[in-house]
Amino acid sequence: MSGERQRPESTGHSVLDGPVPRLDTDALLDDPGTRIIVCCGSGGVGKTTTAAALGVRAAERGRRVVVLTIDPARRLAQSMGIASLDNIPRRVEGLSAGDAGDTGAAGEAGESGEAGEPGAGASGELHAMMLDMKRTFDEIVEAHADPERARAILANPFYQSLSAGFAGTQEYMAMEKLGQLRARDEWDLIIVDTPPSRSALDFLDAPKRLGSFLDGKFIRVLMAPAKVGGRAGMKFLNAGMSVMTGTLSKLVGGQLLRDVQTFVAAMDTMFGGFRTRADATYRLLQAPGTAFLVVAAPEQDALREAAYFVERLAAEKMPLAGLVLNRVHGSGADRISAERALAAAEQLEAENESENLENGRIADAADGQADPTGTVPGDAPPADSPAAPDTAEDGASGEPTTARPAAADAVDGPTADQLAARLLRLHAERMRTLAREQRTRERFTAVHPDVPVTEVAALPGDVHDLAGLRAIGEQLAGQPAAA
């Protein structure tokens, strides 16, 4: 199906039909002042696909874009024409300027655009990468420690565990990578797909927690023995730990404690930098050039998380651009309510049942009537009777053929009325789904009436090529879905 767009569902009535402001994503992408777009929300709502679709649309409108994705599905990398994504930005081929409609502000620069402005050269670029959490942590160590100390840190068992799966590491490294990309200044737009997590708020909280841990009292206590040295250091460590908790040594174990000590001693000069960089990236997220897009599905849990995130962004004074509502169901026959569809289905089913009963009575009556040939039921009909079997030989075979009743040729299956009734029941269920989604959206917009919204219709399958991403980008921009 390469190159062929999937047909989205007709959306029917929409929350955007009312007074809710519409999110203008093209204006956001075309604005040269927009340097970072963060797609955030709970897991499983289409953040990665939204980020990729925005990247495709922005690049085809003249921006130089890099999309930082977190743990994307393999099919998404393939949809960008890349065999696999890693910690290095890879260029996406197959894009062409002008495919996204008017190039807007990005295209207006034209030949007069400066090298660092969107639209320069009249053609954009798209790069994509996947965050490698451990590799990013390794890069930090290699950049801020001398080679000998860096080797000692990278080989330390405690560091290897910390860099591979410590709580908050993925979110912290996503912010580290964002800071690195912004500092390189090779792209005029960075689109970030935030890590999947139990709570959407983890993206804002986890980096601070990890930074506080690495620069906190616990680490300073562990650093003290290394500075004191020898047995005195171990005595100091044991005394300090006994004050904190009498069972720590039993829980930690001797070897792990030595690994932690070695790690802390090697990282001594780096700990202050973790919190500093986390704070600097946090301020970058608050800057005017950053825009947050909260991504959700029209489901109760997803929109509740979205509402929490909207409120948190406001509290942290971070710029919210709007809400992207994915997987919105619709119907081209939404004028037929669920109640009308069910009533019609029940009427068809009742008529079909009545017809079946009538046919059964006719058949029973026919079985009780005398045969016009005068034969008694169970006896063979006379040879010259029309009811006698046809024993004419069939050509060369010489085998007698018996007349096949017409009813035997009929194919068993539902009647047209039965099919219509089933379709009406499916339509009734769809209309119930639409009503439920509409109520859920209205609850969100009632609490947050000023948040701009854009919708993307549910698709019958996964997005697997650039054409699919391009089609989603058009819906994000509010363009009607292609038939």
Contact 69, 193 (CB under 8 A): yes
- Over residues 186-191, the mean pLDDT reads 95
Task: Identify the helix (H) or strand (E) that includes residue 190.
Answer: strand 189-193
Q: Give the model's pLDDT for residue 392.
A: 43
Terminal CA-to-CA distance of the chain, rounded, Å? 16
Residue 224 sits at φ, ψ, to 5 deg, of -60, -45
Domains and CATH numbers, the chain: 15-333+437-476 (3.40.50.300)
pLDDT of residue 479: 78
What mean pLDDT, rounded, does the chain reach? 76
Give which of 175, 181, 200 is closest to 274, Cα–Cα: 175
Mean predicted confidence (pLDDT) in 265-271 = 68
pLDDT at 27 over 90: yes
Q: Are 33 and 289 in contact (CB under 8 A)?
A: yes
**Cα-Cα-Cα-Cα dihedral of 423, 428, 433, 434, to 10°?**
100
- Taking residues 47-65, report their average pLDDT: 95
* 338-371 per-residue burial string, b: 16 or more CB within 10 A, e: under 16: beebbebbeebbeebeeeeeeeeeeeeeeeeeee
Most confident segment among 29-38, 306-315, 400-409, 471-480: 29-38
pLDDT digits (tens, 9 = 90+) for 228-257: 444 554 454 455 444 443 444 444 556 666
Token pair 């990005």 in the structure block, residue: 106
Q: How confident is the model at residue 350 (pLDDT cuts 50, 70, 90)?
A: confident
Mean pLDDT within 447-474: 91
- pLDDT of 207 reads 66
Of the candidates 142, 110, 135, the one whose C-alpha atom is nearest the C-alpha of residue 124 is 110
| Over residues 427-452, mean pLDDT | 92
Whether pLDDT at 126 is above 70? yes
Q: Say which residue the tokens 């171990």 belong to.
A: 234
Return the closest-CA partner of residue 429 out of 417, 437, 441, 440. Answer: 437
Residue-level pLDDT at 199? 59
Mean pLDDT for the stretch of residues 140-156: 88
Give me 103's structure tokens: 């190039």
Which three-class secondary structure state does DSSP give residue 371? coil
**Can you tell me the distance from the alpha carbon of 158 to that of 414, in angstroms, rounded to the nearest whole number?**
66
Amino acid at 326: N
pLDDT for res 214:
63
The pLDDT value recorded for residue 198 is 58
The rounded distance, in Å, linking the Cα atoms of 134 and 140 is 10
Please tell me the predicted confidence (pLDDT) of residue 101: 54
Distance, in Å, from the CA atom of 109 to the CA atom of 118, rounded to the nearest integer, reads: 7
Confidence (pLDDT) at 53: 95
Q: Quick one: average pLDDT of 106-117?
A: 42
Percent of the chain whose pLDDT exceeds 70 = 64
Q: How confident is the model at residue 299 (pLDDT cuts 50, 70, 90)?
A: very high
Tokens of 253: 């174990």
The answer on pLDDT for 271 being more than 80 is no
Contacts of 446 (CB under 8 A, 6+ apart): none
Residue whose C-alpha is closest to residue 468's, from 73, 5, 2, 1 = 5
How do 189-193 and 125-130 pair as beta strands? unpaired
4-8, 14-18, 347-351, 391-395: the lowest-pLDDT one: 391-395
Q: Is the pLDDT of residue 463 over 70?
A: yes
108 versus 201: the higher-pLDDT residue is: 201
Highest mean pLDDT, choosing among 62-66, 358-362, 413-417, 464-468: 62-66
| pLDDT tens column, 66-80 | 999 876 667 677 788
Tell me, what's the pLDDT at 64?
96
Burial class (CB in 10 A: 0-12, 13-18, 19+), 36: buried
